[in-house]
Structure 1
């Protein structure tokens, strides 16, 4: 049996590449695996040789020690790979297929899956609705920042690329289909972005950049991106966004007015989440409700707020006892008075990934360019985590087998 290596969270601020077991079509006991999931048979699953797997900001929250993730957890929920083994009950996915794996694990059988709410599948996580690979409190499914990984419910979940050669030519774009492109698109789409919209995107990390590019694809007339990091703001400007350096300005509305002539936008997207910092003079201080409150202030009456930014129910590093359990000081009365619509939660990737694949394959979307996709080897993953934590304006793509031409 072939060996397998993976990126493992070993403690606050540290990951290592370690030898782990070669995957089988069963979920075995291990760090973070819910006891009721131990021994779960997955004859409906496949084994993938990982072609690309990306480092995500959500992974970074765990590595910073800002969740209850256990040491020994194999990381990675953004997976693209080649099928090398199929389970007995798999009918339509074949050995040799090149596929994108939605980060949401979904059974395809429960009420939520049948309603396209695959982000809150009722059957994959005994702890609560929704599952994911290599993530805290998500059922314990082994992550895919590895050479090989097991993927359950293959017929339902996997997005097969129709032409393998073409897919490998565009792999740096297609690798974004497992998470950040659908997540960014979901943020913009659920915020009601349409032709002519003016849009504010909070955060110029990879998801924020994906949301900005998605807003452009949806026809926005102006996309404004706000962040504290000048390098990431420069990346947003590289594909036509307006930007606001939030480290220099306390009043977001005033900065938007300088761009648009009015202090409000039609739609706003929070791509920051619970580790948000204050604006202007307070930018060095963590203030987890800052983004949510600011986007309520600058979104027009009756507007929508897309909130793909991550918020958690357990944060050991929270600034106070409320923040440690996900309770934030949000001006909900302001949102109520302005009749805002809030769309929260993980992204139901399967709702969007085929649309976005076609945009990539037909050269209508350039998501890899927008997020500055940067290829690294599996052994370089710890360094990639370090650079990402320092604010690198890059989306790190791990290439475990050296298959990506770049």
Structure 2
């Protein structure tokens, strides 16, 4: 059976290729850890992909900013229909429409049992934590494909209660696999609550999801900072204040909005490819956002950091940054008694509640991020547009099931 997929073809390039139809065993391939080759997945299901999104984390690999091997099948934001179940699957049925957390977790290890599914100890031989189609994450085949294997299915998938309703809201529901919980995790980590003032650095899809989440949590004011005018306009479209960091330090613009040069809660939705502010806005300075957030977040406040930071960046600006060592003003954070919340979002902690918010019309995440369906063949163009700063979230629709 045909199974076309999007793969990394070297810096700046992706291509659509033919890959084998999934089996209930992990085969060798680009990025697959040798210790995972031959791993039986009788606890898994095979999905016909309904929606699979292009993520900024994918873009880091495509830009050549990680050690991802060429040929790696991309995609970790997966929503699909179950077409085949493994021998050991008990509760998931053929025909179920499900959301798949980007974190692959076993549900059995010490961390999973405490809800820390972003750092599962069992699915990646290299280190805690795993994901589909991502460098150094165990080699599980990515989901930007017509069909994909999902392990530990009884544990991992979130079943939508009604198929017809799910398809009507599929552009919202597909955000449950990653960016909506990730943005929400950033807001929770930053301590957002009723009446909070919040600054979100970055108006890409995760930043927009964090801003949406802050509103859902009761923030009084949500301010979003970025260099991209279109993305800032998108943030304003659903009630956010905005800061253009190309004009200078966000602190001064925040004071113009709030009357004081600080916020209660800071969220980093940029990560390691951060740029400077003002005249240095075109210069990459990977610690800029972290240092800025420590400066503008009140003493005793918290920093939620859903933006990606890596341990290996061959394209970094200096030798230290190539191994994830950044020039942070940690002494400032210490002096202000800041709390830092970092790492992969444990999607399962949030996705069911956020699903209910979507199904009950409490939030319109697809509208806020401008979810835009594209074909599988159109994925290379989607990656190029996203890299150029399009204020959109591209949703790959391999089987043309999403109304245009």
Q: Same fold (TM over 0.5)?
A: yes
Match of residue 391, structure 2, among 386, 390, 393 = 393
Aligned counterparts of 2:168 and 2:179: Cα–Cα separation in 1: 20
| Structure-2 separation of matches of 1:3 and 1:404 | 20
1:5-404 correspondence to structure 2 within 5 Å: 5-249=4-248, 251-404=249-402
Q: Unaligned 5+ residue runs, structure 1?
A: none
| Residue correspondences, number | 404
Structure 1 residue 92: Cα displacement: 0.2
3-state SS in 2 of match to 1:356? helix
Separation in 2 of the partners of 1:375 and 1:246? 30
Tell me the secondary structure at the aligned position of residue 378 of structure 2: helix
Which deviations, in whole Å up to 9, do the C-alpha atoms of 1:112-132 show, x marking residues without a partner? 000000000000000000000
Whether the aligned pair in 1 keeps the contact of 2:244 and 2:250 (CA below 8 Å) is no
What is the alpha-carbon distance in structure 2 between the residues aligned to residue 345 and residue 119 of structure 1? 8
Q: Please provide the CA RMSD for this pair.
A: 0.4
Q: Distance in 1 between matches of 2:146 and 2:42?
A: 21
SS at match of 2:381: helix
What does the per-residue CA deviation read over 1:159-182, in whole Å, with 9 as the maximum and x for residues that have no partner?
A: 000000000000000000000000
Deviations 1:1-30 (A, max 9, x none): x11000010100000000110001111000
- Give TM-score scaled by structure 2 length: 1.00
- Report how far residue 190 of structure 1 moved: 1.1
Tell me, in whole angstroms, the C-alpha distance in 1 between the residues paired with 2:169 and 2:32. 34
Compute the displacement of 1:253 (Å).
1.3
CA drift of 1:248 comes to: 1.2
Q: 2:153 and 2:282 mapped to 1: Cα distance?
A: 45
- SS of the residue corresponding to residue 155 of structure 1 reads helix
- Gap runs ≥5 in structure 2: none
User: Under a length normalisation based on structure 1, what TM-score does the superposition of the two structures give?
Assistant: 0.99
User: How far apart in 1 are the matches of 2:182 and 2:137?
Assistant: 18
